[in-house]
Chain A
Amino acid sequence: MIFDTAIIGAGPAGMQAACDLRARELSVIVLDEQPAPGGQIWRGVERNCQPGSELAQRLGAEYRQGAGVARSFRACGADYRPLSRVWQIEETGPDATEQCWQVFVIREGQAEVVEARRVLLAIGAQERPVPFPGWTHPGVMTVGAAQIMLKSGGLLPEGPVWICGAGPLPLLYAHQLRKLGGQIAGFLDTAPRDTVRRGLPHLSGALRDWKSLAKGLAWQAGLRAAGLRRETGVRQLRAEGKDRLERIRWETPEGEKTAPAGVLLIHEGLVPSVHPTLSLQCEHTWSDAQQSLRPVLDAWGETTRRGLFVAGDAAGIDGARAALAKGTLAAVGIARSLDVLSEAKAKQARAAGDRALSKARATRPLLDTLYPAPEGKISDDVIVCRCEELTAGQIRAAAGRGSADPNRVKSETRAGMGPCQGRQCGYTVARLIAEAHDMPRAEVGFHNIRPPLKPVSVGELASLGKAKA
């Protein structure tokens, strides 16, 4: 069967788009590698929102809202396939009469091909990797990872727990942890100290969404009231220990400090998941405000490849409410491109969606300014490529040896050739190249992404032939 649309990702954007497309009676298949709907923000939402759940209360109203969306999604009639990993997307040859996409999926060790007229990537974001000495030690993980442990297993970190970084997520997580009785040794804030002054010009725009602003201020006030140790202007973080994290060290303008640590949770913002659009050679642009790439989209959410759409944080970091709006807009765009929505109706629907999106984005310029991507110098001994265990020094040396092409540096050093395909090192390598060639980061680009997008075994690959035969 050829579906009207294959949606990859069952987070807010993917679920919303599925519901909207089903409401227009289009056939939809939704593929997601997680066991249940919700994406990252609403991970485990069905499990946790059972009546009487303490956890659901503590996670907050925004989290509980996901239960309703997941319910509508379950009921919308889309063919939902959890635990399905998309590892390759191809467009059928130019000789085919009608445009069709092939989405290669692994499910329970078996490869299959899903065919659809349109593809919507609603694959969300990942946390921005920011290397520092010792970030590969066991005991160091991301704030998002710890939050996932909380949402999927109801687990709280223990040992002296430190949170280091900047952005709404560490604040939210610290707030959630406190309400659940978790202990935090301290919060190391890496935002520049003058960040509030820098944010002022964006304040009036952000006031359009004063509720979100108030929430953020309330989290901070709550943490202060609880007497949480907080350090600002933090730089030069180091994680130290023999075979695992034992202690951390950091600098502030007042001097160097150290403390014992059992768990160090780090977070420096999010970056869109762009591996599929990069591998499909869609055009991308560099966002200076978010220091990351994003696919170029038209007003309908379509990439520079016809029939391929992107919604949610994969299109730019804007948060869950914006992801819902982007899901709606992409569904309008897809319905229009499949000729089930007239141009006039589509424009009408788009106007409403655009308004919702613009409101949901109101605080974004402020947040982007308050929490810029860190720019501190990465010292030569720091591991940049976690997979191939390459240091900043090795990458710098290769970067200086020839052209500023990330593909050249990749083939010379193997950075980005490990299993993560550069998801951890790609931006840092590009940054080191920009530094070596004294050029703007935006001009460096990203290395070519080779398939598969997600790991598949040779046996699973071979099973594809059998599935087809």
Chain B
Amino acid sequence: MRAGADLIVIGGGLHGLSAALQSARRGLRVVLLEGAFTGRHASGATAAGVRSLARAVEELPLSLEAQAQWEDMTALVGDDCGFHAVGQVQVAMDAEAKARIKARIARLKAAGMHHESWIDPDRLAELVPVMQPGALGAAYVALDGSADPHRTIRAFRAACLEADVEILENRPVTWLGREETHWTVVAGGTSHVAPTIVNAAGAWGRQIARLAGDLLNVGIKNSMMIVTERCEPCLGPVVSAQNRKLSFKQTADGTFLIGGGVQGRLRPDGDSASVDFGALSGAMSTTLALFPWVADLRLVRAWAGMEAATADLLPVIGPSARAPGLIHAFGFSGHGFQLVPSVGRVIADLAETGRTRTDLSAFDPGRLATNRKAA
């Protein structure tokens, strides 16, 4: 039994690390418990797109705050995390897609948000010369881009250690108990006590919530990714397509990352995911239609990363209504990487003062509350 922590963060993915870091910087004594090692799951498996483009409007305040933070990541963690503002484009492959994108941009403008703009096919061809012609244009955000996930994990981890966060790995949390003002957390044979705990357990967030008596209806996503061999740099922006399964980018290493949300299989143990090559193969068509030369590139690795996903695809951020002193930060539904710096700020607010200036109503855990054990 150790005494003296103000905050226990459960989960050593990027959201757990960011919450721990920013809370520690406010003077809280923080212990972080990770079941495997930091960045083992979604944070290490991610495509690491830093994207405000085509985000749900509810997430935009957090996303635009994060965009500014990514621009100056060195200020937060002492390293730029390999972030490059190479821009992101969302291509319209047909008239309906074009109409939807234009309508979205108009809505954003009306709400006072100007980060997205429409570009015509000529400008698109200038930005992405290695793409087949034929698209009707695209939505574009110049300040978006992508980062290096492993470098990001390393930087957040190092910053946490610097800020005296106690990071304990190989400590899967198996039991939670609340006594008046304190939580007791049992993890991998040790137990820890603090008034406040943060649930940043990613795909296991629902289980942690359940240990605290907070039954939430949250599912699991197993998005697959493939990475090719290294090539000479030729693609700047990250490319996606409206209403199609596509996410395509070239990393700083020269490899191409292809994702787009095709789902792998959950293994029977429910604790890991595996690649479904049949599904993956079918999902290559959009990529190959726009970038036919990719067909000749060697696929070096494929993987499926697990993350919690909600029905409305919005995250679960905020205090639990049923378990006092429990703050949720999970359920990012496959697009939480960009939000890491701003959500960490929100959790630090909540941990420090119990309040935050950010409107969290769309992310309220209560919307997912259930009385039954979730399936």
Contacts and interface: CB of A to CB of B under 8 A. Distances in A.
A463 to B, nearest CB: 8
Contact of B288 (A414, A417, A450, A459): A459
Interface stretch (B51-59, B112-120, B279-287, B351-359): B279-287
B294 interface: yes
Contacts of B284: 458, 461-462, 465
Interface in B137-185: 150, 153-154, 157, 169-170
A215 to B, nearest CB: 42
Interface residues of A, number: 33
Contacts of B153: 411
B301 A451 contact: yes
Given A405-B37, A419-B298, A459-B296, A464 B277 contact: yes
B38 interface: yes
A111 interface: yes
B299 A456 contact: yes
B150 A458 contact: no
Pick from A421, A456, A465 the residue with the most CB of B within 10 Å: A465
Contacts of B39: 408, 411
B244 to A, nearest CB: 15
Contacts of B235: none
Describe B's contact surface by its main secondary structure.
mixed
Nearest to A461: B281
Contacts of A455: 298-300
Contacts of B24: none
A463 B284 CA distance: 10
B44 A411 contact: yes
B122 interface: no
B31 interface: no
A458 B296 CA distance: 7
A456 to B, nearest CB: 6
Contacts of A450: 275, 301-303
Interface in B27-42: 36-40
Contact of A461 (B37, B154, B299): B299
Given A94-B268, A411-B44, A450-B301, A458 B36 contact: no
B298 to A, nearest CB: 5
B37 A417 contact: no
A94 B253 CA distance: 39
A468 interface: yes
A458 B37 contact: no
B71 to A, nearest CB: 25
Contact of A403 (B169, B277, B278): B169
B355 to A, nearest CB: 35
Contact of B228 (A408, A411, A418, A458): A458
Given A407-B40, A419-B229, A455-B300, A464 B278 contact: yes
A258 interface: no
A418 B275 contact: no
Contacts of A291: none
B295 interface: yes
Nearest to B285: A462
B150 A461 contact: no
B297 interface: yes
A202 B353 CA distance: 71
B125 interface: no
B258 interface: yes
A458 B277 contact: no
B226 interface: yes
28 contacts: A88-B277, A90-B274, A402-B38, A402-B169, A408-B40, A411-B44, A412-B150, A412-B154, A418-B300, A419-B229, A419-B298, A419-B300, A421-B301, A450-B301, A450-B303, A451-B302, A455-B299, A457-B295, A457-B296, A457-B299, A458-B297, A458-B298, A459-B295, A461-B284, A463-B281, A464-B281, A465-B285, A468-B278
- Top 7 A-B pairs ranked by shortest CB distance? A459-B295, A464-B281, A465-B281, A462-B284, A450-B301, A465-B282, A408-B37
Interface of A: 88, 90, 93-94, 104, 111, 113, 402-403, 405, 407-408, 411-412, 414, 417-419, 421, 450-452, 455-459, 461-465, 468
Given A403-B37, A462-B288, A465-B285, 12 more contacts: A90-B277, A94-B268, A402-B37, A402-B38, A402-B169, A421-B301, A450-B302, A451-B275, A452-B301, A457-B297, A462-B281, A465-B284
Interface of B: 36-40, 44, 150, 153-154, 157, 169-170, 226, 228-229, 253, 258, 265, 268, 274-278, 280-282, 284-285, 287-288, 294-303
